[in-house]
Structure 1
Amino acid sequence: MASRIDHLAATISANTNAITTYLDQNNLPHPSFDADGPITLNLSSQVERARSAAINALQELLDLLQGPIACMIPNYNGTSLQVISRHDIASKVPMEGAISFAELAQATDLHVNDLRRILRYAMCYHRLFKEPEEGFVAHSAGSKKLATDKIVRAGLGQSFDEFYGSFARTADALDTFKDGEPNHTGFALAHNTDKTMFDYLRTHPLKADQFSKAMRFYSAGVPGYSESLLVEGYDWESLGAVTVVDVGGADGYVSRALSKAHPKLNMVVEDLPDIVDAADRVGSTDRIRYQAYDFFSTQPIAGADIYLFRWVFHDWPDHYVIQILRAQVPALHQGSRIVVNESLSVPPRSLPLTLRRDICFIDLLMLTTNNSRLRTMAEWQDLFTAADSRFGTVRRISGEGAALAILEVAWEGE
């Protein structure tokens, strides 16, 4: 009988063979960290499933071969990425060719010895940059993307400017505060503020802009979080020419994707005034309009067919979610639907390992930043019922490969 590690090795082999065959048949580049290597593999949905299966098997095989003690060691050190982000090192490395550590140190105002070990760590752990010959730095595919893509830079900056220090203060927050309020967090302690994260960001416009761009980075960076899964995973076409209100929709990137794929939809993007005013509206059409709105106040767009909340409720503790839902009630008509696009809290072993790890990471991140959490289906039903008994049953729609479930709740009142 084959051992578990033999089974995992066979799974990896079979699925990587499927990927290789697909890439060869479609004349697509193979994975590489070279500067001209592909950032994404452009796989079909079937081959994407093979990639996911290989990754999950690799994760488990690595854990088994390392053993329980090694799995306990927190060997991830974010210092290298933090320095690379703060000093914008990627943009200082030439797009072609190489630069010496000494020249790069001068350009970044870092000591050459510190720069060398920081970048060598990034090369080993993060596959950022390369050392084509001793003493010289050149781009890898990842570092070139970091140098040229403002969304990627924002995502990396957000991780360290706002979250990195907050993780270190979460245990202190749990010991200090016992009320579960969104301003009593590791984030608040790390930033020496009594504000919630969102109120803090609103008083720091550059940080708020970075946060907005970072949300797009997280959506694009992991296939399971792509807005395309919402665009394709819900039966928008059957709705016809209806109005969809994208509540907390930031700069409208999800609404633009929906409008492009489903031309009959009329989109309204709602967010706070400063976010709406600063929204990047490139690609908007006459079927997308913007509305300033604080979702704790009464919903101003009455009679819409769909009120969409994508990645909104996970940012708030339960009693705030209930307030937000109650604020929508005066605008609803019989048959109006609340559509929620969020990660679900799920039992152990009910999902592949890599997806479970992503979900657990987000759940703990929500504790760190907002004192909020991910929720089970039963907990979602409890929240809607607590908000108003006229909300119907929460229905789950899950697209294949999606890390975010689509939940639909109809309004059954008058």
Structure 2
Amino acid sequence: MSNEHVHQLVALITEAAKTIEQEYAKGPDPIIPTLDDTKVHTTDSIPPSATFRKALALLEGASAQLLATVAPPAHTIVNRVMSFNDSGCLDVLVQNKIPDILKGKPDGVSVSDIAGATGLNEGKLERILRRLASTHILQEVKHGVFANNRLSQQLVSENDLSAFTKSCTVDIQTGARALNAYMNDHEMSFVELPQNTPWNKGSGYHKPWFAWFQETPEGAQSAINFNRSMSAFIPTVGREAIVDGYPWRSLPEGASVCDMGGNLGQFLVLINRKYPHLNLKLQDLPAVIEEAKNEYWPKEAPQALESQKIEFKAMDFTSEAPIPGCDIYYVSMVVHDWPDEVNIEILKLIKSAMKPDSRILISEIILPPLAETPDYEHAPQPLLPNGGVGAVRAYNLDISMMILVGAKERNLHQIQVLGDSAGLKFLKRWDMGETDLLEFTL
């Protein structure tokens, strides 16, 4: 028996790193920045290509599998179990706006000054910041003096990624800490209801997470974080690739695109910027629509408002049909929020509004199969067929949906079954990298 499996993993890492370097070379800033470089790089605002995303997933999967292979098992398990400190320390960093304190100060700020600005215990804060710096979030420029780096500067309070971090470290962690208690409470875990979740178990709130948003002051604040966090989450999973990857340009002048449950309309803003010939319609809950109409769109796409290219209409898509007669009904990150029976009803309501040539585009992160299947592109050996850690974000999202709303991510076949059950015909799967686009028709 040889060490060929180790050599194969090293070769995959080398190949993926070379591909990523080539992708950087195609842009205006071909040099990959160091972690200590806080200058904004063009790749920070330009959506990465599908080639880049696939190479990055390969690099993540092969690197993690190589470490798990060569390290003693106890070494790996101890590190995994203690990774809960990542969330705890990040929570301290973001909730106390420490990246804001360090902003624009490349020489750093002493921990005593940071403690003075935040009111936190200096000695304990220094240990937390050093833990973060050891995993490349922040940098310690000299002993006891910390500065932002390429990662931590993304967590200033004005950046939507800070809101996403709060949603994870507060709401999701509330449920994650109660996950085992929830699994062993059969009255909760064996009943598929949106108010029977690990988050309910951990928070003690007895209604669904989304109801908490509307009924409590704490929930209202979390709703604000959640809405902002979607602006940060969309680019990380490659949904922006759909802007270029689907033939929007071929749609005729004035064709209508209805984004159901589209939050503030972040995706439609991207569509409007690139395809201004399309008429856009945004539908979501009343409070979200008010924020979109009065705050988000006037800031992000005022020209769309002036030219009347965007229409806003509040709705509850679990009980109401969308605006009738649209050419495209875009349903993104909605299916994963609901159990099968609710999703089937949502799709039936959309079907009732469709005209004969309408299309439904379902944008979801599709769970790649862990076992080899003939109809799916698998990662190269010796990686796991699904790519291992390179695909772990899909599984993290799956567990997060179980924790918060009792829902789940699905594989391709499971979503096809939902469409069939609603009387729809599956037309095509558009591979967008991490996020897939599934097209259905009447």
- The answer, yes or no, to whether TM exceeds 0.5 is yes
Matched, 1:75 2:82: yes
**Pairwise CA distance, 1:245:** 0.7
- Match of residue 381 from structure 2: none
**1:343–1:227 CA distance, 2 compared to 1 (3 A):** closer
The SS at the match of 2:419 is helix
User: Is 1:311–2:333 an aligned residue pair?
Assistant: yes
- Output the CA distance in 1 between the equivalents of 2:52 and 2:15: 11
**1:227 equivalent in alignment to 2:239:** yes
1:56 and 1:218 map into 2 onto residues whose CA distance is 21
Aligned partner of 2:202: which letter?
A
> Does 1:104 pair with 2:111?
no
348-357 or 103-112, which moves further after superposition?
A: 348-357
Distance 1:47 1:314 in 2: 26
CA contact under 8 A between 1:380 and 1:394: conserved in structure 2?
A: no
Deviations 1:284-322, CA, capped at 9 Å, x for gaps: 502112111110222241111111101111011112112
Structure 1 residues 295 and 57: alpha-carbon distance in aligned structure 2, compared to 1, 3 A threshold: same
- The count of corresponding residues between Structure 1 and Structure 2 is 403
Please name the residue that 2:268 is paired with.
Answer: 255
In structure 2, the residue matched to 1:60 is 65
Alpha-carbon shift at residue 118 of structure 1 (Å): 0.6
- Contact in 2 for aligned 1:158/1:211 (Cα 8 Å): yes
Secondary structure of the residue aligned to 1:132 is strand
Quick check: 261-270 or 199-208, which moved more?
Answer: 199-208
Q: CA deviation at 1:37?
A: 4.9
- Contact between 1:30 and 1:38, CA under 8 Å: does it hold in 2? no
How far apart are the structure 2 equivalents of 1:228 and 1:300?
23
Contact 1:394-1:409 at 8 Å conserved across structures: yes
Paired residue type of 1:231: V
Percent of aligned pairs with the same amino acid: 23
Contact 1:355 1:403 in 2 (8 A): no
- Aligned: 1:211 with 2:226: yes
Which structure 2 residues correspond to residues 335-346 of structure 1 after superposition, within 5 A?
A: 335-346=357-368
Question: Distance between the aligned counterparts of 2:50 and 2:338, measured in 1?
Answer: 33
Matched residues in 1 for 2:346 and 2:49: separation?
38
1:129 aligns with 2:131: no
The answer for the alignment partner of 1:33 in structure 2 is 35
Write the distance in 2 (CA, Å) between the matches of 1:44 and 1:380.
25
Cα distance in 1 for partners of 2:279, 2:94 equals 39
The answer as to whether partners of 2:57 and 2:391 remain within 8 angstroms in 1 is no
Distance 1:112 1:273, change over 3 A: same
What aligned pairs does 1:15-414 form with structure 2 within 5 A after superposition? 15-20=16-21, 23=24, 27-37=29-39, 40=43, 46=51, 49-73=54-78, 74-76=81-83, 77=85, 78-96=87-105, 97-125=107-135, 127-147=136-156, 149-176=158-185, 177=188, 178-203=190-215, 204-220=219-235, 222=236, 225-241=237-253, 242-279=255-292, 280-281=296-297, 282-284=300-302, 285=304, 286-348=308-370, 349-387=384-422, 389=423, 391-393=424-426, 395-399=428-432, 402-411=433-442
Structure 1 residues 130 and 248, CA gap change in structure 2 (3 angstroms): same
What amino acid maps onto 2:310 in structure 1?
I
Does structure 2 conserve the Cα–Cα contact (< 8 Å) formed by 1:105 and 1:112? yes
How far did residue 17 of structure 1 move?
4.0
Cα separation, partners in 2 of 1:44 and 1:218, compared to 1, 3 Å: closer
- Closer, same or farther: CA 186–17 of 1 in aligned 2, 3 Å: same
Secondary structure of residue in 1 paired with 2:361: strand
Residue 93 of structure 1 deviates from its aligned partner by 2.4
Give unmatched runs, 5+ long, in structure 2: 371-383
**More displaced, 266-275 or 371-380?**
371-380
- Partners of 1:300 and 1:343 lie apart in 2 by 23
Q: Given that residues 174 and 185 in structure 1 are in contact (C-alpha distance below 8 angstroms), is that contact kept between their aligned partners in structure 2? A: no
Structure 1 residues not aligned, in runs of 5+? none
* Cα distance in 2 between the residues matched to 1:22 and 1:300: 40
Distance 2:238 2:391 in 1: 17
Counterpart of 1:269 in 2: which secondary structure?
A: strand
Confirm or deny: 8 A CA contact 1:129 1:138 kept in the other structure: yes
The structure with higher relative contact order (CA 8 Å, sep 6+) is 2
TM-aligned CA distance change 1:190 to 1:35, over 3 Å: farther
Question: Are the equivalent residues in 1 in contact too, given 2:49–2:241 (CA < 8 A)?
Answer: no
Distance 1:265 1:67 in 2: 57
Q: Which amino acid aligns with 1:362?
A: L
- Per-residue CA deviations over 1:260-301 (Å, capped at 9, x if unaligned) read 222222110100000010121121502112111110222241
Aligned counterparts of 1:47 and 1:210: Cα–Cα separation in 2: 29
Which residue type is aligned with residue 141 of structure 2? Answer: P
Moved more, 27-36 or 300-309: 27-36
Deviation, 1:150, is 2.5
Q: CA deviation at 1:201?
A: 1.6
TM-score, structure 2 as length reference: 0.85
Separation in structure 2 between the aligned mates of residue 67 and residue 340 of structure 1, nearest angstrom: 43
Other structure's SS at 1:270 match: strand
Deviation string for 1:57-99 (max 9, x for gaps)? 2222122122433343313122111111221122122522222
Pair 1:185–1:232, CA change in 2 (3 A)? same
